[in-house]
Structure 1
């Protein structure tokens, strides 16, 4: 699910959801979310009750695939970047992010390792998955790790849920998860630099069989491999 992570393309790009700026599993068709707008949409509900409701809703999300449109904007609302592609998720902790426009890129998280592929230059960056996903509220979509849940606060919104990170080191500081019924329909995130990202999903297939090969990348001899796992 992703453009180059080190360029904020996940997600997440973002996932999605960028290794250092995981606004990739996530950025999109520009919706500048201000704290005032979020506050006005908040429904009075106890945080513990809202968190329990979100956990229950996400516990039914076993697999997910959809096309996405993505846009990233700065703190003033100016659009910085837009893209489109396909996102595939499967619990636990598996993700595939393919960007088709403006450039073809691929990111695969297989549960332990992240493969960030740039077909244009035929280069693969390999990273430990936990170094990207730790302290990232986006991982709540594919993980039931209690440590992840304990590091966030949840508020109920009219259109979904607002997740705020309590971790001062988190790259994604807030995340809005929206549903159409029980189907995930939209993700909006704000990073520590106050950049806003939005993912809008279409052609959604939720809880249908996904082939395991979607989360495997076959390395060919023509690709240059930058393995950062030893450095991490």
Structure 2
């Protein structure tokens, strides 16, 4: 790990940053699957594949809720999400901590505006073996995930995904379909945290400015490279 310009350990609403950007990317890419889009009648796994097919870009406001395994600690955050396939995204966190996360196709950058600190990692390493591959890759989902139907008994049609890679920190993702739309995404990680994502004002396949996915590496005082 290479340190530049006297970095300090970042703080904020996104955990694990000091160790690696990989789990951050896992959390941030997957919620895009919740966003509204066409889904023909099919099983959960088929609906998931159908939804990803033809997805080129997205923009949405989001709310992220994370609970510890015992439900004792609740963290809520909100902001705006932008996606351009393959492999480019931008998350603008407004609260509780202002942060910007950008994947430009080569690296993933995180700018903590409160600390005026930038951390970054090779995108190939950040995405490798994580559920982030669901949006970054263009091949079939089951190349990197075991995909099976799951029954929660709540009237929704569910699909469960488990990463095939052994080193990912995301243990399980469950996506629920209500009628013709993707309704709920639940995620469990190896740290015992449970995360739920809710999106509003979603636009599928809008035209997005390419500058959204460019990060100016000179924009912070502290600089931390994780590779």
Work out whether the TM-score is over 0.5: yes
CA distance in 2, matches of 1:70, 1:57: 22
**Could you tell me which of 9, 33, 40 is aligned with 2:14?**
9
Stretches of structure 1 lacking an aligned partner (at least 5 in a row): 29-44
Match of 1:91?
Answer: 85
1:95-146: CA deviation from partner (whole Å, max 9, x where unpaired): 1111101110011011111111011222111210111111112320232245
Alignment of 1:13-52 (within 5 A): 19-22=21-24, 24-25=27-28, 51-52=45-46
Alignment of 1:35-184 (within 5 A): 51-145=45-139, 149-157=142-150, 158-178=156-176
CA distance in 2, matches of 1:226, 1:97: 19
Match of 2:208?
Answer: 210
Match of 1:188?
Answer: 186
Across the aligned residues of Structure 1 and Structure 2, the Cα RMSD in angstroms comes to 3.1
Deviation for aligned residue 1:183 = 5.8
Classify the secondary structure of the residue corresponding to 2:97.
coil
TM-score where L is the length of structure 1: 0.73
Contact 1:140 1:149 in 2 (8 A): no
List structure 1 runs of 4+ shifted beyond 6 angstroms: 4-8
Higher relative contact order (CA 8 A, sep 6+): 2
Deviation for aligned residue 1:92 = 0.1
Match of 2:3?
Answer: none
Deviation for aligned residue 1:57 = 1.8
Task: Identify if the C-alpha distance between structure 1 residues 160 and 94 changes in structure 2 by more than 3 Å, giving closer, same or farther.
Answer: farther
- Count the aligned residue pairs: 200
Stretches of structure 2 lacking an aligned partner (at least 5 in a row): 1-8, 32-41, 151-155
TM-score where L is the length of structure 2: 0.74
CA distance in 1, matches of 2:137, 2:74: 30
